Structure 1
């Protein structure tokens, strides 16, 4: 039974962050009236005043206040990273209050957490759908489309090529992975790999490029969507930069330390700004995928071009929350393609259609 059926209000948590503010502004442009929320009332209020929206400052450490805040809310979009700190308390509060949960994370641990809470969410009639932004809508939808073409696939490789810079939140998430390494899925299990250990040449859609495997969220989510047991995700990178990444492997022990993490994240706060609207308008993203069944000698390649990652995140998160406002199905953990279908990416402004062939 869906607890949220009579609720129509949405809440954006972390609304004063770079991406949270973009989502809030676009929500208003679409005629929505979200509640703006976050830890700091001082940061919330100017945006709320400008947009004419209600604002509620609440800490994720305050269970009672969070429960009261979510009581009449149908769905939350969590935009407050790093999600390693914010996802679990918000997810648990959503399950307790019968509120659907989504976020814009790319962090594998959050996907694994939400997947592990599937039974609790199902019992509460609550949808858990982390990753409703560029992490991981385009790659997840392409993975699902490729799986439909080859249900017998044993290997899935994904990748994307973009000129977009990092938002502050994404930069901080990247810093957290420096002390860990890369990640791939082998025979159904996630394995940590050294930085830049796996390389190959890929034509993402605008010519062949040298590429390096990264610990992208699909190492978790694409498996939940397709059950393909072997998964890797790549981005283009110069061979010179890949060699610099490899040198970091000897320092992973140091890069894991809290004081080093905090120092690097402080640098982000000082120096990293998200791209302007004009910059975003000029930045497309080329998404590529490959499925193989090596025993049968079969291979298919898929591609889709999308808008830049930030616009995908804004439009994608709002498309999913609007879907959830009218949702009548079961609760539980979902990937974006499992919840909304692999066609979701094709419906987003700036996206083309998924094209699949032998190359």
Structure 2
């Protein structure tokens, strides 16, 4: 691709702005975009960048906007509503697509669009942030260490707070439940339905299974048929999660979702730069082949989730600017290799052993 222009859509959101500022600090000149010109222009003026306000409801207009763009970094959620129209516009315009979602449905949608993307020579790579670069890369490394694995368990431990976008994504899952993959199929499980004790890297902790994106993506990366993802949680909070199960029908209702998300807008702010600098993330994974009695454990320490998202998005973008391979759907590890996470600022090396 001769054109090196990039576009950041949703640039005035918490993470979109972080990515835009870091891109400028690296000497790049991205186009800033989003639905609101009023929100876009102040940031564009401050950073000395071009800004284009465009909605996602007209695929033709959006595709024309992208016709001279090599890569889109899509940062505007909820991705369950915004990812598909942006991916379709990218396929039509010949623009590589990446986003920062953690929503499982988006990974499934991108995977379903693999043939269209291949035909257009366009890469679709959702999840180029904390969701799901560290866990996806660790999963790929563990699979390389045990290609016969039948079970994959992943997890992470972090003190990082939520951004508004991440909090809203979490709200969307309240009415659905948890999720795991069993025998190759995704199954919905009750909130708090699976628990275990895990040493993520700083001592053993009680942990609960969550519907993290790797339930989809790690399967695409490894083809391991049984996958679970855990985060540490107090037993008391886990019991509160379990009580939510009786209200899932209510939490799915649109007016309840809208009300809860309005609370996020009023009360949730992303962590400050100083807060992010003090926060690390401990990522853990386990592969097993119970028939053979084999087990391997892997760990990697990264920067906080938001810095991983910023640096990870830009690393994948730079990879795509020089990419000459085939189009289609990719996970981060399938596109850039499992070493991607080790190259990000604040990350250590992946370490794999028997414990």
Q: TM-score, normalised by structure 2?
A: 1.00
Who is 1:337 aligned against?
333
Question: Gaps spanning 5+ residues in structure 2: where?
Answer: none
Aligned pairs for 1:188-203 (under 5 A) are 188-203=184-199
Aligned pairs for 1:99-114 (under 5 A) are 99-114=95-110
Who is 1:127 aligned against?
123
Q: Deviations over 1:236-293 (max 9, x none)?
A: 0000000000000000000000000000000000000000000000000000000000
In 1: Cα distance, 2:26 partner to 2:220 partner: 31
Q: Secondary structure of the equivalent of 1:352?
A: coil
Determine whether 1:305 maps to 2:305.
Answer: no
Indicate which of 304, 313, 322 corresponds to 1:317: 313
Q: Secondary structure of the equivalent of 2:116?
A: helix
In 2: Cα distance, 1:112 partner to 1:31 partner: 34
Aligned pairs for 1:27-66 (under 5 A) are 27-66=23-62
Who is 1:283 aligned against?
279
Question: Gaps spanning 5+ residues in structure 1: where?
Answer: none
Q: Secondary structure of the equivalent of 1:73?
A: coil
Who is 1:214 aligned against?
210
In 2: Cα distance, 1:358 partner to 1:62 partner: 52
Q: Deviations over 1:94-145 (max 9, x none)?
A: 0000000000000000000000000000000000000000000000000000
Who is 1:182 aligned against?
178
Who is 1:87 aligned against?
83
Who is 1:137 aligned against?
133
Determine whether 1:295 maps to 2:288.
Answer: no
Who is 1:22 aligned against?
18
* Aligned Cα root-mean-square deviation (Å): 0.4
Q: TM-score, normalised by structure 1?
A: 0.99
Deviation at 1:305, TM superposition (A): 0.1
Q: Secondary structure of the equivalent of 1:157?
A: strand
In 1: Cα distance, 2:141 partner to 2:157 partner: 19
